[in-house]
Amino acid sequence: MAEIIMCNPFELYNLLNQFHRVSRLAEINYLWLVDARELQDYYTSHIVTAKCMKMESDGKCIFPEDVEADSMQRIVVYDSNTSCLWEKGRAMHCAQALAKFSLYPVHILKGGFRRFAALYPFLMTKKILYTITELENVPIYPVEIVAGLLYMGDQKQSQDTDILKDLTISAVVNLSHFTQNDSLESVVGNQTILNIPVTDSVESDLYSNFQPICRFINSHIRVRSRVLIVSRQGRSRSSAVAIAFLMQHFKYSLEEAWRYMLKCKSSMRPNTGFLQQLSDWELHITGVKQADLSKTPFN
């Protein structure tokens, strides 16, 4: 029987916003999001791509015919407001049924639909059926690094006014080499932009920018303003800066920050030059180089 564990809302948010060229939601075995609420609640509104779990009068769960629980890499179950594993609600009932077949842990969404909908109302829908093409083109939001405060994405997302509005972004760290404004710091619309034009090259110096970038991010999140870190693909430069911030802000080791970032965005990968600079940053932050860059999870 698979383990049953809790899942924070921002963890589900990040699962819904992973992509490799297209949304990972189009992968048949990637994620099964289970809505365990009453059927009328599901039809009124649910989290995007969720499937309802019907129950017979005796409480037996009826699995959808188009889903194989034993092949799903991730299963997340939610009801209205379950907040802990000791609650005997519909989410736990479904999770226990699914755990008998799953090869991976079954997650219960902490706070359920109510909390997730309050945090991410733009991810609510009434849509029930999706084609593969529709799943491939589900809107992708920047991943959330620090819940409700720090996000990481690509240049296209930073220029999408709907995304900026939905996430109420107040500040942007722009790491793309080509910028629209030569000023180091500027104001565009409702956002304060910090431009750090660095190429994604192993020879580029990102290290000297870690301190001012961390200072910029801290100045905004200290007053609960939301910050978005972006580079062209949102994979190398932006993740290096996000890791540097986690190390500075939470005093994480490089390995701790790296593993944390992989959970937020599985495709993140600073280039080898930036990785070495992060190792130097670890020495600056902690006084010692702890990471062996030749070993897992860095190689």
Q: Find the mean pLDDT for residues 13-21.
A: 95
Task: Look at residue 299 in the predicted model and tell me its pLDDT.
Answer: 84
Query: What CATH number was assigned to the domain covering residues 4-136?
Result: 3.40.250.10
Amino acid found at 259 = R
Task: Look at residue 58 in the predicted model and tell me its pLDDT.
Answer: 78
The more confident residue out of 114 and 190 is: 114
Per-residue confidence band for 178, with pLDDT thresholds at 50, 70 and 90: low
Residue 206 to residue 96: CA distance in whole angstroms: 48
pLDDT value at 189 more than 90: no
Least confident of 49-63, 126-140, 159-173: 49-63
Residue spans of the domains in the chain: they are 4-136, 143-286
pLDDT value at 236 more than 80: yes
Q: Find the mean pLDDT for residues 175-199.
A: 78
Task: Look at residue 67 in the predicted model and tell me its pLDDT.
Answer: 80
Task: Look at residue 183 in the predicted model and tell me its pLDDT.
Answer: 59
Asked if domains 4-136 and 143-286 share a fold, the reply is: no
Torsional class of 78: left (φ above 0), alpha (ψ -120 to 50), beta (otherwise): beta
Tokens of 4: 């049953």
Least confident of 16-25, 101-110, 181-190: 181-190
* Burial track 278-289 (b if 16+ CB lie within 10 A, e otherwise): bbebbeebeeee
pLDDT value at 175 more than 60: yes
Q: Find the mean pLDDT for residues 234-238.
A: 96
Task: Look at residue 74 in the predicted model and tell me its pLDDT.
Answer: 96
If you average pLDDT over every residue of the chain, what do you get? 93
- 143-286, what's its fold? Protein-Tyrosine Phosphatase; Chain A (3.90.190)
pLDDT value at 228 more than 80: yes
- pTM, whole model, 2 decimals? 0.94
Task: Write the secondary structure of 67-106 as one string of H (helix), E (strand) and C (coil).
Answer: CCHHHCCCEEEECCCCCCCCCCCHHHHHHHHHHCCCCCCE
Task: Look at residue 54 in the predicted model and tell me its pLDDT.
Answer: 87
Q: Find the mean pLDDT for residues 3-13.
A: 97
Task: Look at residue 182 in the predicted model and tell me its pLDDT.
Answer: 53
Q: Find the mean pLDDT for residues 273-297.
A: 95
